[in-house]
Amino acid sequence: MTDEDGQTSPAVTRRQVLGTGSAVAGALLITGLPFAANAAGTVPANDAAGASEPDALADVTLIINGHPHQLKLDPRTTLLDALREHVAMTGTKKGCDHGQCGACTVLLEGRRINSCLTLAVMHDGQAITTIEGLANGEALHPMQAAFVEHDGFQCGYCTSGQICSAVGMLRESQLGMPSYVTDDLSVAHPTLTDAEIRERMSGNICRCAAYPNIVAAIKQAGGVRA
């Protein structure tokens, strides 16, 4: 291109313009600066500081092991994180945090659930039993005692979830709930064979592979003859 004085100036191509725009946008993303100002040409104070209004906290009352705990929680807090981070019930373990290992199993109104897959605000006023609430003072729960007697654990990380799940599973069996391997659905209380126990406990993973001992402990606690 030639200017009024007859001198040649470098041409500005579309590629150069787009490249410059991309570089500016990238710099804004890296530095955290806002892309646009308001109509007055200024940036809102909260945007300039990179801050926004905090989400409202929810008032939640959880009845944990018979004791009410009144909490103010981010509505997105899982029941697992509420137990561990806000009530210091660290017996409930965070394993996969995706509902696949069962380490976070607790009892909700007597039913076993994965506490990592549910929000604490969904259980306002409900009764939750963790591994800390199974024993009666110094006396172990029969399932806990059976796990000790049969060496139903090695590293112990999954054990609290295994025990809570086993307690819930025995209750389900007593209520007549069948499993995938139950042969006769007309039977009120299916016999807890090894296959039944393994199927019903399949949501709880033991990476140490102490499964034979876990099955033996459950059979003892459930009063099932070997």
Domain spans in the chain, listed from the N-terminal domain onward: 1-53, 57-133, 134-226
**Average pLDDT for 50-66:** 80
Mean pLDDT of the chain: 84
Residue 90 tokens, joined: 């660290």
Q: The whole model's pTM is what?
A: 0.75
Q: Which pLDDT score is estimated for 3?
A: 55
Q: Find residue 111's DSSP bridge partners.
A: 108
Q: Which pLDDT score is estimated for 141?
A: 97
Q: Which pLDDT score is estimated for 2?
A: 56
Q: Which pLDDT score is estimated for 9?
A: 56
φ/ψ of 25, rounded to 5, equals: -60, -40
Please indicate whether the domains covering 57-133 and 134-226 agree at the CATH topology level. Answer: no
Q: Which pLDDT score is estimated for 34?
A: 42
Residue 194 tokens, joined: 């090894």
**Percentage of residues of the chain with pLDDT beyond 70:** 75
What element of type H or E holds 64? strand 58-64
Q: What is the pLDDT of residues 152-209, one digit of tens each?
A: 999 999 999 999 999 999 999 999 999 999 988 888 888 899 999 999 999 999 999 9
CATH architecture assignment, domain 57-133: Roll (3.10)
Name which of 135, 152, 136 is nearest 218 in CA terms.
Answer: 152
**Percentage of residues of the chain with pLDDT beyond 90:** 69
Alpha carbons 65 and 68: distance in angstroms, whole number: 8
Q: Which pLDDT score is estimated for 63?
A: 98
Answer whether residue 142 shows pLDDT above 90: yes
- Of the pLDDT bands very low, low, confident and very high (cuts 50, 70, 90), residue 52 is very low
**Average pLDDT for 1-20:** 58
Give the residue with greater pLDDT, 169 vs 52.
169
Q: What fold, for 134-226?
A: DNA polymerase; domain 1 (1.10.150)
